[in-house]
Chains A and B, each alone.
Chain A
Amino acid sequence: KAGVTQTPRYLIKTRGQQVTLSCSPISGHRSVSWYQQTPGQGLQFLFEYFSETQRNKGNFPGRFSGRQFSNSRSEMNVSTLELGDSALYLCASKTQGTNTEAFFGQGTRLTVV
């Protein structure tokens, strides 16, 4: 069974640009969550999609958005990039139910210069 695939692995963008990151979950998983990880803040929840609908949202500005397609693949978009957006962006494919478990991709390392 293939794991969670995130593309690209590394990305360098300049301030003001926008970026789109992609995540393909484990086959059969319908829930995809996105997290931002920085040394200072740790893993911060961005949002979760389930069956093409955003089900949960973290405390991030509207510049951060996402979507999910009918095949469960998800994308997140960050517009008007700021230096502080430099981080490791992680996608998690999740099981459902009371004991939900997250299976992470390798992440996309975004550097904003």
Chain B
Amino acid sequence: TQLLEQSPQFLSIQEGENLTVYCNSSSVFSSLQWYRQEPGEGPVLLVTVVTGGEVKKLKRLTFQFGDARKDSSLHITAAQPGDTGLYLCAALPPGGYNKLIFGAGTRLAVHP
């Protein structure tokens, strides 16, 4: 059982569409990160959310941390082919002592 459950697993959309991906857990986290990974490359950190209810924007990407700090969402507006990749959420488990764990990821394909 994954500590961080990401949904959906796969998403295939057309350029210009909006989408939301989710990262859920039954645990409370002090912070949560989102990463994007392209094929054959390492994940790249997009954002860290810390405060319950926090919303952060990165151009067309909007990240939200749940009020109870157990879940997070990533919303992309007007998706572009360059958004294609694997989106991973990550967090420190309770008492994890810097052992960062990752969800299984959402694989996004944006078609022109």
Q: Could you tell me which A residues sit within 8 Å of B by CB distance?
A: 4, 6, 31, 33, 35, 42-43, 45, 48, 50, 55-56, 88, 90, 92, 94, 96, 98-107, 109
Contacts and interface: CB of A to CB of B under 8 A. Distances in A.
Contacts, number: 66
Contacts of A100: 31, 92, 98, 100
Interface of B: 30-31, 33, 35, 40-45, 48, 50, 88, 90, 92, 97-105
B44 A99 contact: no
Contact of A56 (B42, B98, B104): B98
Nearest to B99: A56
19 contacts: A42-B102, A42-B103, A43-B43, A43-B102, A45-B99, A55-B97, A55-B98, A56-B98, A92-B100, A96-B98, A98-B31, A99-B31, A99-B50, A100-B92, A100-B100, A104-B44, A106-B40, A106-B41, A109-B40
Contacts of B101: 45
Contacts of A109: 40
A107 B41 contact: yes
A40 B80 CA distance: 27
Contacts of B40: 88, 106-107, 109
Given A31-B98, A45-B101, A102 B31 contact: no
A107 B42 contact: yes
A104 B42 contact: yes
B30 A99 contact: yes
B33 A101 contact: yes
Contacts of B99: 33, 45, 48, 56
